[in-house]
Structure 1
């Protein structure tokens, strides 16, 4: 069974991404994936996309977590 959680990131996007992608938490980053961006430049890409689209609101990004329970 899988469990999915979604957390909004409302400030310090770069610090959140650094924390989320820590090597010791992600099996040396093997467990890190991204969609249409690269983890090392995601914060810049996210903020640029918000600027380009004149996006309003407090949520800068969303952190998706998947847990796969052992059988």
Structure 2
């Protein structure tokens, strides 16, 4: 199972079992679920965004920080 699949599975889990909406903002289980999702998303590799048509040669942008690099 990939990190992406784990993230999608956790998003739809209801840890509490007491509520059906999963919108319990102060619930410790929801807070823990949100933290696990945050850490998994942070640690999952992201594909760089390729830009080629703007300047005539390929350069890439980091989807997290926005830094741009040319691979000329």
Q: Tell whether the structures are fold-level matches, with TM greater than 0.5.
A: no
* Structure with more contact order per residue of length (Cα contacts < 8 Å, sep ≥ 6): 1
Larger Rg: 2
Which has the larger strand fraction? 1
